[in-house]
Amino acid sequence: MSLSKKDISFIQPSRNNLKYLKWSYEGIRKNAGPEPTICVADDFSNDGTWEWCEEMMSKDPNFKALRNEGPTRLGHTILYDRLINELATTPIVGIYHADMWLCPGALESVLEHIKPLTVVSLTRIEPDLHPAGPEKVLIEGAPTEPEHFDESWFNGFFNNYLPTVKGKTTEGIFAPWFLFKEDFTSIGGHDPLYAPQSKEDSDIFNRFLLNGYQFVQTWEGAVFHLTCRGSRFNPTLTTPGQNSNEWEAQNIRSTRNFIRKWGHFVKHDKLMKPIVPHKYDVEFEVANCDLKMIEALEPWCDRMTLDCSQELINQYIQNEQPNTKFDLSKKFNTNDNSDIIVEFDALRMTNQSYQFIQQLSEIFDFNQFDSGEYEFDIFKVKVNKIKHYENELIHL
In a domain, 52, yes or no: yes
* Residue range 129-180, pLDDT digits in tens: 889 999 999 999 999 999 999 999 999 999 999 999 999 999 999 999 999 9
Q: What is the pLDDT of residue 234?
A: 59
pLDDT over 90 at 374, yes or no: yes
Domain co-membership, 217 together with 84: yes
pLDDT band for position 243 (50/70/90)? confident
One-letter-per-residue 3-state SS of 35-62? CCEEEEEEECCCCCHHHHHHHHHHHCCC
Q: What is the mean pLDDT of residues 365-387?
A: 95
Query: What whole-number distance in Å separates Cα of residue 179 and Cα of residue 201?
Result: 14
* Residue range 109-134, pLDDT digits in tens: 999 999 999 999 999 999 998 899 99
pLDDT band for position 99 (50/70/90)? very high
pLDDT over 80 at 85, yes or no: yes
In a domain, 299, yes or no: yes
Domain co-membership, 210 together with 304: no
Nearest Cα residue to 15 out of 75, 105, 92: 75
Nearest Cα residue to 37 out of 56, 17, 19: 56
Instruction: Among 262, 297, 316, give the residue marking a domain's end.
Output: 262
pLDDT band for position 241 (50/70/90)? low
Q: How many domains does the chain have?
A: 2
In a domain, 224, yes or no: yes
Surface-to-core class of residue 312, CB atoms within 10 Å of its CB (0-12 exposed, 13-18 middle, 19+ buried): middle
Query: What whole-number distance in Å separates Cα of residue 54 and Cα of residue 57?
Result: 5
* Residue range 187-227, pLDDT digits in tens: 999 999 999 999 999 999 999 999 999 999 999 999 999 98
Domain co-membership, 375 together with 336: yes
Q: What is the pLDDT of residue 240?
A: 56
Domain co-membership, 27 together with 159: yes
DSSP state of 24: H
Q: Give me the helices (H) in the chain, please.
A: 18-32, 49-59, 76-82, 106-113, 151-161, 181-185, 200-210, 245-262, 291-297, 310-320, 351-358, 360-365
Q: Are 342 and 364 in contact (CB under 8 A)?
A: no
Domain co-membership, 238 together with 357: no
* Residue range 340-352, pLDDT digits in tens: 999 999 999 999 9
Domain co-membership, 59 together with 186: yes
In a domain, 380, yes or no: yes
Domain co-membership, 315 together with 386: yes
Domain co-membership, 286 together with 228: no
Domain co-membership, 18 together with 129: yes
Q: Which domain holds residue 387?
A: 282-393
Domain co-membership, 257 together with 289: no
In a domain, 199, yes or no: yes
The alpha carbon of 236 is separated from its chain's Cα centroid by a whole number of angstroms, namely: 22
Residue type for position 31: N
* Residue range 295-340, pLDDT digits in tens: 999 999 999 999 999 999 999 999 999 999 999 999 999 988 999 9
How confident is the prediction for the chain on average, in pLDDT? 95
Query: What whole-number distance in Å separates Cα of residue 203 and Cα of residue 267?
Result: 10
Range scoring the smallest mean pLDDT among 240-244, 285-289, 356-360:
240-244
Q: Residues 279, 282, 288, 292: is their CA dihedral positive or negative?
A: positive
Q: What is the mean pLDDT of residues 241-254?
A: 85
Q: What is the pLDDT of residue 247?
A: 84
Domain co-membership, 332 together with 196: no
Q: What is the pLDDT of residue 368?
A: 84
Domain co-membership, 296 together with 254: no
Query: What whole-number distance in Å separates Cα of residue 50 and Cα of residue 42?
Result: 6
pLDDT over 90 at 95, yes or no: yes
pLDDT over 90 at 270, yes or no: yes
Residue percentage of the chain with pLDDT more than 70: 96
Counting other chains too, the contacts that 54-58 makes at CB distance below 8 Å and 24 or more residues apart are 56/25
Looking at per-residue pLDDT, the higher value among 247 and 10 belongs to 10
In a domain, 269, yes or no: no
Q: What is the pLDDT of residue 233?
A: 59
Q: What is the pLDDT of residue 14?
A: 96
In a domain, 277, yes or no: no
Query: What whole-number distance in Å separates Cα of residue 137 and Cα of residue 218?
Result: 13
In a domain, 267, yes or no: no
